[in-house]
């Protein structure tokens, strides 16, 4: 089974980069858990990648040139993998169904198998009627977005690049009084003393722009608080 797992992982990862030759590589796969899932074995793992900032195909990646590099001059990142391997080779299709998930969660399971996710931790994903498993597919879900928070689905961990500039974010609400809860920002000011770190606008209604009160704004870092 170890040989089968290794081969399948290579196939899954190779599918990601078939259209961009030599644009990235898999450094290693850390298997976190393997357990019985009926007709399949469930594998939860972390895939570690390395990408060469000097390759022309990678120049479109934002701020990659500023990212920390390893001894080989490559930038490293890692993503979650949820994999289901058929136990019986006689009933296996020899085909991988791969979904690069959206916002850390599946789309295919809800559309094809009427699955409803109540807990987005990978060990608790609901596969619905298990159509793909019953058809003998190897099924894989790969995290590919860095702003998915722990517990909110399959995530991607990327390096932090020391860059500066204006970052804009929008929030859409149906309430006349504006957003009633927190608005998460993907990019945060690293320096809590930056006076401009709290500039922003909240979108509300039919395109109206509302300036939030400073007292309602909080920075992403625990040691950062709005000015008095």
Query: 114 and 13: one domain?
Result: yes
> Is pLDDT at 223 greater than 60 in this prediction?
no
Q: What is the pLDDT of residue 191?
A: 61
Last residue of a domain, one of 129, 157, 185: 157
> Is pLDDT at 172 greater than 70 in this prediction?
no
Last residue of a domain, one of 120, 139, 157: 157
Query: 135 and 211: one domain?
Result: no
Give the residue among 13, 37, 11 at the shortest CA–CA distance from 93: 11
Summarize pLDDT for 66-97 with one digit per residue, the tens: 899 999 999 999 999 999 999 988 888 889 99
> Is pLDDT at 217 greater than 60 in this prediction?
no
Query: 39 and 129: one domain?
Result: yes
Give the residue among 130, 153, 136, 51 at the shortest CA–CA distance from 90: 136
pTM of the predicted model as reported, rounded to 2 decimal places: 0.70
Query: 27 and 122: one domain?
Result: yes
Summarize pLDDT for 95-138 with one digit per residue, the tens: 999 999 998 999 999 899 998 988 889 999 999 999 999 999 99
Query: 175 and 145: one domain?
Result: no
Question: Which one is predicted more confidently, 165 or 30?
Answer: 30
32-36, 50-54, 167-171, 210-214: range with lowest mean pLDDT: 210-214
Calculate mean pLDDT across residues 181-201. 55
Task: Give the domain extent around 111.
Answer: 2-157
Residue with tokens 């085909």: 95
Instruction: Say whether 196 sits in a helix, a strand or coil.
Output: helix
Neighbours of 12 (CB within 10 A): 22
């Amino acid at each position: 089974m170890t040989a089968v797992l290794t081969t399948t992982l290579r196939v899954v990862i190779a599918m990601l980069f078939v259209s961009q030759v030599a644009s990235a590589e898999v450094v290693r796969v850390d298997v976190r858990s393997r357990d019985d899932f009926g007709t399949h074995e469930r594998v939860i793992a972390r895939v570690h990648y390395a990408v060469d900032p000097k390759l022309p195909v990678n120049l479109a990646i934002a701020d990659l040139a500023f990212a920390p590099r390893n001894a080989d001059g490559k930038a490293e990142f890692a993503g979650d993998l949820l994999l289901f391997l058929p136990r019986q080779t006689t009933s296996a299709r020899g085909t991988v169904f791969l979904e690069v998930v959206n916002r850390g969660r599946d789309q295919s399971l809800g559309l094809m198998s009427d699955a409803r996710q109540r807990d987005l931790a990978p060990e608790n994903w609901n596969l619905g009627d298990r159509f793909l498993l019953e058809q003998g597919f190897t099924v894989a879900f790969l995290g590919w977005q860095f702003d998915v928070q722990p517990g909110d689905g399959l995530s991607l961990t990327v390096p932090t690049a020391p860059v500066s500039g204006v970052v804009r974010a929008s929030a859409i609400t149906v309430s006349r009084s504006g957003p009633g809860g927190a608005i998460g920002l993907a990019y945060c000011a690293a320096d809590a003393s930056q006076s401009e770190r709290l500039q922003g606008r909240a979108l509300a209604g039919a395109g109206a722009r509302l300036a939030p009160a400073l007292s309602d704004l909080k920075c992403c870092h625990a040691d950062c608080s709005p000015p008095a």
